[in-house]
Every structure is written in structure tokens, then in C-alpha cells.
Structure 1
Amino acid sequence: MQKYFLCRYDELSEGQSKGFSLGDTAAGTDNVFAVMKDGEVYAYKNTCPHQGINLDWQPDQFLDPDGALIQCASHGALFLIESGECIAGPCAGEALTPVPVEHSPEGLYVLLAD
């Protein structure tokens, strides 16, 4: 497992989403995003299960207009924030790939498989 720093606690607010590029560009990067809901941080790979494309069409825009669900900007698929399960759209029944989040005094880290 590889550990990557995401952000300080004050850089991700309740009801907000934020995208991150992680890793060495020479070795390829992993794109992930994090969402804070009810004080919990949820992180997922930034890949829609429908066609493997990024979910956001603008930086840090991963949520529907109400901020209640994760939304794929390309196909409108909707995902539960807490589980990543697709509840509407072309990939209904599939799910986003979760990324473990680690809390530390410095802020938030994610763990990615090597």
C-alpha cells in the first residue's frame, strides 16, 4: 500500500467535494476525490464504472446540485456518498471504487494499492 497526503482538515468542508491527482507522473497518476458528509470523509477513485471516465467536468465538482449525491458529469449517473453505489443511470447497481482514508494530525491521507 502507498500512502498519499490529500489535504489539511480545513481544506475540505462539510458538503464539499475535492479532487486530487496522486503519484509520480512518470509512473502514471491515480485520480481520487473526497467528499465530507455528516463529519465523515469518503474517498473514491475518480472513475465512473460505466465507461471508466472521470466523474467531474469542472475541478472539484463531484456532487449533484443539492449536494446529496455524487454525480457523473458525462452520463448523469448518481451514486450514494456513503457507499459509492450507483442508484440511477447507465451503471445502476455498480459502484465507485472506494479508497481508504487515514486521519493524522497533519490532515487526510489515502491508501492506494501498489
Structure 2
Amino acid sequence: MQKYFLCRYDELAEGQSKGFSLGDVPEGIDNVFAVMKGGDIYAYKNVCPHQGIGLDWQENQFLDPDGALIQCASHGALFEIETGECIAGPCTGEALTPLPVEYSPEGLYVLMAD
């Protein structure tokens, strides 16, 4: 597993989402995003399972207007924050690709397969 730094703890607040570019990583997957909910951090690859495109149109905008679900800006699919499962839209039953998050004194890291 490779470890990639995301941000310091104070750069992601409760109920917020934030996108990150990891640069040169295996298989060309270089964009991820993280959401803080209930004090926990959930990270996913920024790829919609429906069309294989990024979920955001605007920087760091991954959540629906209520901040309760992850939303694909292209076609409105809605995903559970805790599981990444699509619960509404053209990819219902599919899921986002989760990434393990590691907490360290410096901040948050994601772990990706070699």
C-alpha cells in the first residue's frame, strides 16, 4: 500500500467535503475526495460508477444541498456518505470506490494499493 497525504485535521470540518489531487499514482487514479461526518473521515476515488467521470463540477462540492449525501453533479446520483452506496439515480445499487484513511500527527492520509 502507498500512503498519500491529504490534509491537516483543521482543513476538513464536520459536514464538509474536499477534493484532492494525488499526482502520479498507480493506474492513473489521481483524484480523491473526503467527507467528514460524525467526526469520522470517509474517502473515495472521485469517479462516478455510472459514467466514470468526476463527481464534482465545482471545487470541493461533493455533497447534496442538505449535506446529507454525496451527489454526482452530472446526473444527480446520490450516495451514502458512510458506505459510498448509490441509493438514487442511474447507478442505484453500485458504489463509489472507498479508500482507507490513516490518521497521523501530521494529518490525514489515504492508502492506495500498489
Q: Which runs of 5+ in 1 are unaligned?
A: none
1:104 aligns with 2:104: yes
Amino acid at match of 1:86: C
User: Deviations along 1:76-104, whole A, 9 cap, x unmatched?
Assistant: 00000000000000000000000000000
Q: Deviations over 1:5-42 (max 9, x none)?
A: 000000000000000010328x8451100000000000
Q: Which residue of 1 aligns with 2:48?
A: 48
For the Cα contact (< 8 Å) 1:100–1:110, is it kept in 2? yes
1:37 and 1:113 map into 2 onto residues whose CA distance is 25
TM-score by length of 2: 0.95
Are residues 81 and 24 of structure 1, via their aligned partners in 2, closer, same or farther at CA, if it must alter by over 3 Å? same
Aligned residues, how many? 113
Structure 2 SS opposite 1:48: coil
Distance 2:85 2:58 in 1: 22
Contact 1:21 1:29 (8 Å CA) reproduced: no
- Does residue 1:6 correspond to 2:6, yes or no? yes
Q: Distance in 2 between matches of 1:71 and 1:29?
A: 20
TM normalised by structure 1 equals 0.95
Gaps of 5+ in 2: none
The residue correspondences of 1:1-114 to structure 2 (distance < 5 A) are 1-24=1-24, 28-114=28-114
User: Distance between the aligned counterparts of 1:30 and 1:112, measured in 2?
Assistant: 10
Letter in 1 for 2:54: N
Alpha carbon RMSD of aligned pairs, Å?
1.3
